[in-house]
Amino acid sequence: MKTIKLMSSMLAMAWLICLSSCSGPDCIPSGVRIKSFTWDGVSYQARYGANGRLTKLQASTRDIVFLYDENGKLYKTSIRNSGEAVPLRTYEYKHSTTGISEILISDRNDFDNKLHPIVIHKIYYQTPTRLTAIVEQYLEEQGDSVILSTRYYRRFTYEGSNIALIDMIPPFTEYRGLQYDNKVNPFMMLANAVGNPAFFPAGLYANFPVVNFDIPFVSVFSQNNPLAAQYITIDGAFPSNQTFTNIYNNNLVKKIVWVSRQFPPPYIPDFRTFLFEYERAPVH
């Protein structure tokens, strides 16, 4: 019994040392993983496969399921309410040698209770952990055909391992990451858990809180956690100033409150809250 208690104490101490020493911008602590994730007010428990891949975020009323092919590559994510046959949303992925290169997002239309394609994201990389650009191709259904409706080109500029600027071509808006901490980004832990280290490929990436399942661009594509950001139109009118209030436990973030003062005046604040719990991963 004393031996078991001693071993447990040594493992706990090693885990804490791992967290406290993991302060570099590219550091994802080994042996630690997400246990639970609260998103849009829904608390999900993380489930993992034998190989350590994230297979499900499970809530009492909704599941987010991650499916992998025989090579261990993520090919589909499905968000489904309990008891409903048709998902709320699906993400279907294509891969390049660098990472996920294309995402087709389909949403359920409640009028016919069917999935309809909404947008295709084409992803371009500098390195396996940094992007060059995302091209968003919005889709429109005309009869039995699906056609390209609108296209947006978002260009990524990094400072170190974090987003400094995402601008649009042709120029229209800019989203700037102004300040970051030096702690582990839990969204990057989720990204690694699905085998795509550049970003977590589920959710809608947003310039400010606006829809369900949104995550700020500066969080999902940065190695560290943002503290301040700004979204602005190219003419400089009505900037949206944003703050991120983070609560930590050692080197890990337990709570993120993303607040954006929206334009136009009177700058009514909008916010999202993300909660995370962690656990030691089993040793294989």
Per-domain boundaries in the chain: 27-280
Cα(215)–Cα(201) distance, integer angstroms: 11
pLDDT higher at 184 or 141:
184
Q: What's the predicted TM-score (pTM) here? A: 0.88
Cα(195)–Cα(200) distance, integer angstroms: 9
Q: What is the pLDDT of residue 162?
A: 97
Given a cut of 70, whether residue 222 has pLDDT beyond it is yes
Q: What is the pLDDT of residue 182?
A: 95
Q: Please, which pLDDT band fits residue 265 given cuts at 50, 70 and 90?
A: low
Q: What is the pLDDT of residue 23?
A: 44
Q: What is the pLDDT of residue 11?
A: 45
Cα(155)–Cα(221) distance, integer angstroms: 12
Is 170:10 a contact under the CB 8 Å cutoff?
no
Give, in degrees to the nearest 5, the angle at Cα 244 between 242 and 247: 165
Length of the chain as a residue count: 284
Percent of the chain with pLDDT over 70: 87
Cα(33)–Cα(46) distance, integer angstroms: 9
* Average confidence (pLDDT) over 149-153: 91
Q: Please, which pLDDT band fits residue 31 given cuts at 50, 70 and 90?
A: confident
Given a cut of 50, whether residue 163 has pLDDT beyond it is yes
Q: Please, which pLDDT band fits residue 234 given cuts at 50, 70 and 90?
A: confident
* Average confidence (pLDDT) over 112-123: 94
Cα(18)–Cα(25) distance, integer angstroms: 15
CATH of domain 27-280: 2.40.160.150
* Average confidence (pLDDT) over 70-88: 96
Q: Which of 72-76, 170-174, 207-211, 249-253 has the highest mean pLDDT?
A: 72-76
Given a cut of 60, whether residue 200 has pLDDT beyond it is yes
Q: What is the pLDDT of residue 145?
A: 77
* Average confidence (pLDDT) over 60-71: 96
